[in-house]
A and B are shown apart, each in its own frame.
Chain A
Amino acid sequence: GAAWARGLLSWARPERWLASGSLFPLSCIHTSTSLQQIGKIGKWEKKNRIVYPPQLPGEPRRPAEIYHCRREIKYSKDKMWYLAKLIKGMSIDQALAQLEFSDKKGAKVIKEVLLEAQEMAVRKHNVEFKSNLHIAESQTGRGRYVKRVRCHGKGMFGMMKISRCHYFVKLVEGPPPPPEPPKTGFDQAKEYVQQLRNRTLVHTL
């Protein structure tokens, strides 16, 4: 709706209709509703474009972050989620090893994405060692679904949906962070006692 209105307004822009010799090339591009087919830049792809101001001499070095994704993978997002959960927090070498010997269809796709991201990191994002990366975030998203007819016996039919998914990964330079120790009962008890101690009287002297 909004894109359609925008398209209409761009068509009705007055400067476009001013008869002038010079036609700016930008005004010839029309914003149409079918922007998805042309290649709309997603939010994840735009995250690679942010540029930080130069760091001051005393500041600790900011680790490089590389965002990469693949859209419209022919796989289910729930099944892909298990693979994304597997490699979350691993170093990139370990993740590639696990995916190489996984029997799932999505493992091959995620491996390609990780290798592409590693290549991008070394070439464009000033990462020194390609092994010195770890996976900070790995998520799946729902792609475009298509409904189709599935034929059953005796002339019956149902509607099935052909599902596709997106996969997003964020690589950060540096060794992987150590895993959090699981919360023990003692820790929970300490927290509970602390909560009891924090109780006080409100709205009083």
Chain B
Amino acid sequence: VLVLVRSPLPRLRALLQRCWGRLERGLWPSVFGGQSPPWGAALAVQGLALVPQGINDAEAPSLLESVVWMAAPKHRRTIEVNRCRRRNPNKLIEVKRNIDVCPECGNLKQKHVLCGYCYAKVKEETRLIRMEIYKKEGGPFNTPTVETVVLYEGEKPTEKDEGKRIIERARKRPSWFVQN
């Protein structure tokens, strides 16, 4: 059944064609269930698909001239073919050969990356130092224009730390934080 839609607006025509297609297939309101029907060749009908009525009245409008064919799968891929594709060695995860043991803490680390445990340790200590700095400064934009020195329990500022700002931390100096 050929339905000729005499509508000047291409968008409305396209929408009506879509609606009609869905009605024909009984999918209104469209619910895409699990079973997909075997796809055939799909037509992409452009705006000016309608053959002007004045030229050929007796012949049916030829579809081959004014229609663009889109790619669509012709047959269902069997599970054997799917398995060959999914289990191809290029899709499997490669075994990593760049994992070592960190000499400091003994955890695993990648060769080109810092050890996660040591980094977390340093990050935590930095966070506590920053909290001390925040307490000393009191607010934003109060950073002094001098260097900062972090001193732990039982440490005195040396003559090198003359004009520097001193931040006190109430714990023993960690072994990895070397004092200048």
Contacts and interface: CB of A to CB of B under 8 A. Distances in A.
Interface of A: 78, 82-83, 85-86, 97-98, 100-102, 104, 156-159
Nearest to A150: B32
Given A82-B91, A159-B31, A159-B32, 15 more contacts: A82-B92, A82-B93, A83-B93, A85-B87, A85-B92, A86-B92, A97-B99, A97-B108, A98-B95, A98-B96, A100-B99, A101-B96, A101-B108, A101-B110, A102-B96
30 contacts: A78-B86, A82-B91, A82-B92, A82-B93, A83-B93, A85-B87, A85-B92, A85-B93, A86-B92, A86-B95, A97-B96, A97-B99, A97-B108, A98-B95, A98-B96, A98-B99, A100-B99, A100-B108, A101-B99, A101-B108, A101-B110, A102-B93, A102-B96, A156-B30, A157-B31, A158-B31, A158-B32, A159-B31, A159-B32, A159-B33
A102 B86 CA distance: 19
Interface of B: 30-33, 86-87, 91-93, 95-96, 99, 108, 110
A158 B30 CA distance: 8
Contacts of A156: 30
Interface centre among A86, A101, A157, by most chain B C-beta atoms within 10 angstroms, is: A101
Interface centre among B93, B95, B108, by most chain A C-beta atoms within 10 angstroms, is: B93
Nearest to B100: A97
A83 B32 CA distance: 31
Contacts of B99: 97-98, 100-101
A82 B88 CA distance: 11
A126 B87 CA distance: 37
Nearest to B110: A101
Nearest to A83: B93
A157 B31 CA distance: 7
A83 to B, nearest CB: 7
Contacts of B87: 85
What 10 pairs between A and B have smallest CB-CB spacing? A158-B32, A86-B93, A97-B99, A82-B93, A97-B108, A101-B110, A100-B108, A101-B96, A98-B96, A85-B92
Contacts of A97: 96, 99, 108
A102 to B, nearest CB: 7
Nearest to B98: A101
A167 B23 CA distance: 44
Nearest to A160: B32
Contacts of A98: 95-96, 99
Contacts of A83: 93
A83 B94 CA distance: 10
B165 to A, nearest CB: 40
A20 B159 CA distance: 94
A85 B93 CA distance: 8
A98 B110 CA distance: 10
A159 B87 CA distance: 28
A156 B30 CA distance: 8
A169 B34 CA distance: 31
A189 B136 CA distance: 81
A104 B31 CA distance: 32
B110 to A, nearest CB: 6
A189 B32 CA distance: 51
Contacts of A82: 91-93
A102 B91 CA distance: 15
A32 B110 CA distance: 52
Contacts of B91: 82
A102 B95 CA distance: 10
A97 B95 CA distance: 10
